[in-house]
Structure 1
Amino acid sequence: MLHQEIQNSLKVLNEGGLILYPTDTVWGIGCDATNEEAVKKVFQLKQREDSKALICLVSDDRMLKKHVKNIPEAAFSILDVTETPITIIYDNPQHLASNLISSDNSIAIRIPNDDFCFQLLRRFNKPIVSTSANISGYPTPNSFKEISEEILKGVDYVVNLHRDKVCNKPSSIIKLSANGVVKIIRK
């Protein structure tokens, strides 16, 4: 079943479509993080201004290094010691959709601790957008059954895994500037 869900998701991602998928935190709306048109569809579905940044997922350090020009050493230390999901905002992203990059030239990236996400990212071999499965301004759903019809109908594929799981809270977010300054955005 896992293999089939990955295949189905890959087909949609490669065609520039949107998937609704379980992550290590909450259910997410995802797309190819290198495809501007796909990213635009996410902003439209969420009814969110494109000036508000989205998170993207990478499979591992190798993929992270490909999409962030200079990763501060502190990032690897933080990733090694954290026991809860953490998203880090990095300066100077590269090889990503321009509408995914914040106006201050930064990007929020997480390496998920989830088998489905890891395998999907490895097979796709590109970052995937991961933004909560809700319309902007509405609460983040804690489970699949709390996701609105509008979101369910607005994506091209809904992953058929972990639908009974009550999701954890969203990840913590920190901004890690190239000069070593750490700023907590969301605990």
Structure 2
Amino acid sequence: MQKEINNALKVLKDGGLILYPTDTVWGIGCDATNAEAVDRIFKLKQRNDSKALICLVADDRMLKKYVKKIPEAAFSLFDIHESPTTIIYDEPQNLAPNLIADDNTIAIRIPDDEFCFQLTRKLNGAIVSTSANISGYFTPKSFKEIAPEILKGVDYVVNLHHEKKNTKPSSIIKLSNSGVVKVIRE
């Protein structure tokens, strides 16, 4: 796994795109602070850039780097939620501007996956994580279901082709600074 982390890290630092396994589904990723790389993901997915993307961070300490004020409810969710959960936060910071949603929010998950943890830790930063599909098409449940144009459109495919334990996208919960909690996707 260390070799794959090092290879992916080099591509991320060079502004490239990776295809990698997450704690949910196979994802397309890049350095979340690199606007050009984020733009390449939108183009590859043929996705409107007004639809926000998810980021992964290693832990709550890293999360503080990208969100001005983390609602207390987020820490409770980290502790009690058993399935992968992405939280949408108000007032993101230190991220590529084209990654931030029109309503000034960002979706971030702390994955329960050793590869993702090590990669974000070694990058010392957030990584974009969006499903490895063309926008509007089904989310692949395994590596072999990933479309050829996605495979050709990334700069590096992480060679950890084990089948995922979880093959569905994360739950998404919006936690606003005003205290409003809204379930976006279960």
The TM-score range, normalised by the shorter chain, is over 0.9
Q: Secondary structure at the match of 1:9?
A: helix
How far is the alpha carbon of 1:166 from its aligned partner?
5.9
Match of 1:25 in 2: 24
Q: Secondary structure at the match of 1:102?
A: coil
1:9-46 deviation per Cα after TM superposition (whole angstroms, max 9, x unaligned): 00100000000000000000000000000000000000
Taking structure 1 as the reference length, the TM-score comes to 0.98
RMSD over aligned CA atoms reads 0.8
Taking structure 2 as the reference length, the TM-score comes to 0.98
How far is the alpha carbon of 1:162 from its aligned partner?
3.3
Matches for 1:1-187 after TM superposition, within 5 Å: 2-165=1-164, 167-187=166-186
> Aligned partners of 2:165 and 2:69: how far apart in 1?
36
> Aligned partners of 2:11 and 2:45: how far apart in 1?
18
Which aligned segments of 4 or more residues in structure 1 are displaced greater than 4 angstroms? none
> Aligned partners of 1:132 and 1:138: how far apart in 2?
10
How far is the alpha carbon of 1:165 from its aligned partner?
3.5
Aligned residues: 186
1:69-113 deviation per Cα after TM superposition (whole angstroms, max 9, x unaligned): 001001101111111000000000000000000010000000000
How far is the alpha carbon of 1:164 from its aligned partner?
3.5
Matched-pair identity in %: 74
Unaligned stretches of 5+ residues in structure 1 = none
